[in-house]
Amino acid sequence: MPDLHYDHPRLAVLYDLLCGWSADRDFYLSLADGEPKSILDLGCGTGLICDAYAARGHDVTGADPSSSMLDIASQKPHGDRIEWVECYSQDFRSDKRFDLIIMTGHAFQVLLDETAVLAALAAMRDHLADGGRIVFESRNPEIDWKTRWDGGAAEVVHDELVVRETRDVVSYGKGRIHFETSYHFPGETLVSSSKLLFLSHREIERYLHVSGLRTEAVYGDWSRGPFDELMSEEMIFVVRHA
């Protein structure tokens, strides 16, 4: 099931406030420069990037397992021009073929085992048009994410109420992190439990190879800087049919 902070209606409305437009979305938007394209966003969430693509005249499909997120997405300015599909990335099926398939917001890391990873890559491969690209990112496991995340806090104002977000790491090791995010509303606290998988660069390359895909580029940041295995926070993969 989706984490509570994606699926609970009261938390879904906070997503764009806590995770608004940022450098990663500028990067993904730039991938669609030029003539109109057919674009699939797997794990589209509240549809920020889908809406931006549609505003530029692209044919956009957004898929996400959370009905609460899709409800918000459909209300975006260009939401009525976008096809919204409620499903997990590995279960996506369509007769369409796409020039660009993206998986943003580190959604690749919610695929927690080999079966899920390979199924998601197969779904992307099978829906990729000739000459099309798949682009997704995963955090570099060489970075100490436990130290960076444990005890993190933020505040946001919604409907004139201050909501405080705190994060605590429950466990970290063997390529996995389990953390809890608490949302402190006046009079109520909602706790979302999350697990993420941290695959290495080599492991992802292996999964791509066995999925019939090839890596065109791997960037280490949103400015398209080279990937440094020890220093880069991001592993941003640009992939095509093998």
Position 91, amino acid: D
Helices (H), 76-216: 114-126, 145-149, 201-210
Asked if residue 121 and residue 18 are part of one domain, the reply reads: yes
Please, which pLDDT band fits residue 2 given cuts at 50, 70 and 90?
A: low
46 and 157 both lie in a single domain: no
Percent of the chain with pLDDT over 90: 88
Considering the domain architecture, whether residues 81 and 180 belong to the same structural domain is answered as no
- 69: CATH: 3.40.50.150
The number of folded domains in the chain is 2
Mean pLDDT over the full length of the chain: 95
- Asked if 155 and 38 sit in the same domain, the reply is no
Q: Are residues 49 and 161 in the same domain?
A: no
pLDDT tens per residue across span 130-150? 999 999 999 999 999 999 999
Q: What is the DSSP code (8-state) at residue 132?
A: E
118 and 166 in a common domain = no
pLDDT attached to residue 6: 83
pLDDT at res. 109: 98
Using alpha carbons, list the distances in angstroms from residue 34 to 31, 37, 53, 93, 162: 9, 8, 12, 27, 41
Question: What is residue 108's DSSP assignment?
Answer: G
Question: β-strands 38-42, 59-64: how paired?
Answer: parallel
Are both 170 and 227 inside the same structural domain? no
Q: Which residues pair with 102 in a beta bridge?
A: 41, 135
d(CA 90, CA 239): 17
132 and 178 both lie in a single domain: no
The reported pLDDT for the residue numbered 9 is 87
Q: What residues make up the domain containing 53? A: 4-139+200-241
Query: Do 188 and 217 fall into the same domain?
Result: no
CA distance 133 to 207: 16
CA–CA separation, 149 vs 166, rounded Å? 10
Same domain, 150 and 60: no
- What is the reported pTM? 0.95
Write the pLDDT tens digit of every residue in 43-82: 999 999 999 999 999 999 999 999 999 999 999 999 999 9
pLDDT digits (tens, 9 = 90+) for 42-52: 999 999 999 99
In this structure, the answer to whether residues 90 and 164 fall within a common structural domain is: no
pLDDT at 236: 98
Averaged pLDDT, 122-135: 98
Judge if 100 and 165 occupy the same domain.
no
- Tell me how far apart the alpha carbons of residues 137 and 206 are, in angstroms, rounded to a whole number: 15
